[in-house]
Amino acid sequence: MCRVRRPRFAPTFRPHDSRLGRRGLAIGIDIGGTKVAAGVVDAQGNVLQRARRATPGTQPREVEHVIAELVAELSEDHRVSSVGIGAAGWMDLDGATVLFSPHLAWRNEPLRDNLEKLLRRRVYLSNDADAAAWAEWRFGAGRRESRLVCITLGTGIGGAMVVSGHLERGRYGVAGEFGHQVIVPGGHRCECGNRGCWEQYASGNALGREARELARANSPVAQELLRAVGGDPERITGAIVTELARAGDAASRELLEDVGEWLGLGLANLAAALDPGTFVIGGGLCDAGELLLAPARRSFARNLTGRGFRPPARIVRAALGPEAGLIGAADLSRVHLRSRGPARDGAMG
């Protein structure tokens, strides 16, 4: 019989492992294109203290020094056992190397070793969507779900899976790129190089693009959008559309409904392949709440393979908001301490 071999480190949570509680506090750091957010996180997922800095640029050394500043600040009043880093990009399966990051100049960057020498603490690297999904499974809207898929709606679409307490990262560590399923062959060009990717239709960028197109045509239904940006269509963003939709603007609500329908279609495709029990939807676009999720659920039900003869997955809003990434990164670093044995020279537990 063929046996499936897991990578050397596959984050897996054992609910009754008392060692996790004895590890104490961890620092989680979420690296974004404009800011680096950090927090001290306890074993129950509570953020005890927060700090942030502007992202200093794209060079690895600059970012490492900002991380060191944040860790030093947060360690003044707390004894921490480890540091977890969440960032957009591809990490190797051991959580040691950033293979590629779209926002930073990290290409095969040995970030874990660099930071452990700098910080003298254990460090674990994770993709930001993986970290957020882990946090929602451990402490948030997906708690105790045996098969969870987390979708993050922002500039694009991020994704991750937690299956039976195991963060499923795929054979090479790059699973979860759900936003790049081709949903409209020959459709809008995506930054990845393909056409018709899901994130070109169901993301904050997609919402802003559609609103700008409507406003450029000076459509009579887009007048509220134009007033909100002083008559300049190029200033319209997905966040502005969401704000107007929540205030009752009919055109903005219609645009959100369109995005929700695309979202539901993509979720139905994922359900056909992955059969999750719950989809947790997070990211900035979820500020729209049910204005987005209600049409997504209707579209999901309409497009689900085998509908009427199978239990449908739940579609729920993420519970932890913008701190999910740093909470998950901190918790993953705490779990990871079990897998590496005694601290090496230059790193303190």
Domain 19-134+323-339 = CATH 3.30.1370.140 = no
How does pLDDT run across 245-255, given as a tens digit for each residue? 999 999 999 99
Mean pLDDT of 271-284: 96
Q: What is the pLDDT of residues 288-329, one digit of tens each?
A: 999 999 999 999 999 999 999 999 999 999 999 999 999 999
Position 7 scores a pLDDT of 44
The CATH number of the structural domain formed by 145-319 is: 3.30.420.40
Chain segment 114-150, per-residue pLDDT in tens: 999 999 988 999 999 999 999 999 999 999 899 999 9
Q: What are the residues facing 31 on neighbouring strands?
A: 36, 87
Q: b/e per residue, 178-196, with b = 16+ CB within 10 A?
A: bbbbebeeeeeebeeeeeb
Can you give the pTM of this predicted structure?
Answer: 0.88
Percent of the chain at pLDDT > 90 equals 77
Q: What residue ranges do the domains of the chain occupy? A: 19-134+323-339, 145-319
pLDDT above 50: residue 346: no
> What is the residue type of 102?
P
Reported as a pLDDT band with limits 50, 70 and 90, residue 13 is low
What per-residue confidence (pLDDT) applies to 34? 83
- Is the CB of residue 280 less than 8 Å from the CB of residue 293? no
Domain 19-134+323-339 identical in fold to domain 145-319: yes
Q: Which of 8-17, 184-193, 313-322 has the lowest mean pLDDT?
A: 8-17
Residue 196 CB-half CA count within 13 A: 7
Confidence at residue 10, expressed as pLDDT on a 0 to 100 scale:
53
Q: Which of 339, 326, 323, 338 is nearest to 26 (CA)?
A: 326
Task: Give me Rg for the CA atoms of the chain.
Answer: 21
